[in-house]
Amino acid sequence: MNLEFSRKLLNAPPYLFVEIEKKLEQAVKKGEDIIDLAVGDPDTPTPSFVVEKFSEIIWRPEFHRYPHYDGSDEFRQTVSAFMKNKYDIDVSYEHEIVALLGAKEGVAHIFLAFINEGDFALVPDPAYPVYKTATLFAGGVPYPMPLLPENGYLPDLSKIPEEVAQRAKIMFINYPNNPTGAVADRHFYKRAVEYCIENNIVLCNDNAYCDFIYGKDKMVSVFNIEGAKECAIEFYTCSKSYNMTGWRIGFAIGNDKVINGLKAVKHNLDSGQFTALQYACMEALKRGHDFTIHMKNIYKERISLALEKLGRAGLNVKAPEGTFYIWTPVPQGFDSMSFSNFLLEKAKVMVAPGVGFGRHGEGFFRISLTAAQKRLNEALERICKAL
């Protein structure tokens, strides 16, 4: 049988973290003790109050049937209250919220709602790889917005050609930023909102790392900006803030027409999020504030440790403004892939090569601080010895 993959699948680049996982598995099979600092997967458990709520609610037989496609009323009401408490913004639970099977699912599916063959999507570079790949799956053309150190890793919207803006349907932004650790201020969000309104573009804000900002900047929702409800959608996840990466639940809020577009895609491709999981998420949103502060303090300690060790190793390392990643130039004589391979071979430490996040990530590598303190310290010591 002569099976052929679709052109869209063949044109999609290999997913960075699957490739990293394969390398890790191969090394482990050889009996090597590899410390994984490549993937942003929190190492500490989900809060006990979330697990306990899920353990209690999962037995309810009415939740064993198909869930509500868009999320239960109780779930969406909880999200609405959460956004009011966290950002002082009003979001209609009936029209402006949808439950997701993890934020990644919503991020990937939004392109199917608004991108036609040949349309442009404005995507940051370097960035979470799904923005580019989902554009390709939808038949669109990803137009990279370079995130450069000299611009504070903010895209320069004035550099986007007018003919590209006229054909663009979606713009993605993500702050606190993965992989660079940069944070955007209200001025940037205001400019992005104005730009998208001017050019009739859907503004997508990936707010996955909203609870991890370390400087004077405060958490910002794009909907704190006047006019955002005209053009924007914002994605949230329980994965990072509440250590729930394996649970796969999140939500999106925003302009009702944009939300309806995403809902329409989801109605045809999935049957909604398991209701018991919605209750687990609700518990996290209601009771998780102190937990996120606790995790933020843990990451602060790990950042300090990483800065001290990597600086001693001679790397040009700077503290991130947000997230739990360290984004650092590779040493002279390496590119990002050869350096990540060097660390895997010589230090038995896995890091993420910058080029895996896009062309403008070349020359950098990313370290995730989601390893226990003792294990992280050992990994950093190994890097120091290898260098």
pLDDT tens digit sequence for 283-315 = 999 999 999 999 999 999 999 999 999 999 899
Angle at 184 between CA 45 and CA 12, to 5 degrees: 70
Q: State yes or no: pLDDT of 7 exceeds 90.
A: no
pLDDT of residue 15: 67
CA distances from 114 to 69, 103, 165, 166 (A): 20, 18, 15, 14
Output the six-digit token pair for 120: 């442009």
Between 227 and 17, name the one with better pLDDT. 227
Instruction: State which amino acid sits at residue 367.
Output: I
Q: What pTM, to 2 d.p., does this model score?
A: 0.95
pLDDT tier for residue 4 given thresholds of 50, 70 and 90: confident
Interval 124-164: pLDDT, tens: 999 999 999 999 999 999 999 999 999 999 999 999 999 99
Query: Of 200, 183, 190, 213, which is closest to residue 120 (Cα–Cα)?
Result: 200
CA distances from 375 to 41, 134, 306, 378, 381 (A): 14, 35, 12, 5, 10
Average pLDDT over residues 166-188: 97
pLDDT of residue 17: 65
Output the six-digit token pair for 108: 């990937």
pLDDT tier for residue 385 given thresholds of 50, 70 and 90: very high
CB 208 within 8 A of CB 172: no
Query: Kind and range of the H or E element at 203?
Result: strand 202-206
Q: What domains does the chain contain, in order, with CATH numbers?
A: 7-46+290-386 (3.90.1150.10), 49-286 (3.40.640.10)
* Torsion sign across C-alpha atoms 71, 74, 75, 76: positive
pLDDT tier for residue 9 given thresholds of 50, 70 and 90: confident
The C-alpha atoms of residue 28 and residue 287 are separated, in whole angstroms, by 38
Query: Of 208, 186, 200, 68, which is closest to residue 128 (Cα–Cα)?
Result: 208
Average pLDDT over residues 10-14: 78
The C-alpha atoms of residue 116 and residue 130 are separated, in whole angstroms, by 17
Average pLDDT over residues 66-89: 97
Question: In angstroms, what is the C-alpha Rg of the chain?
Answer: 21
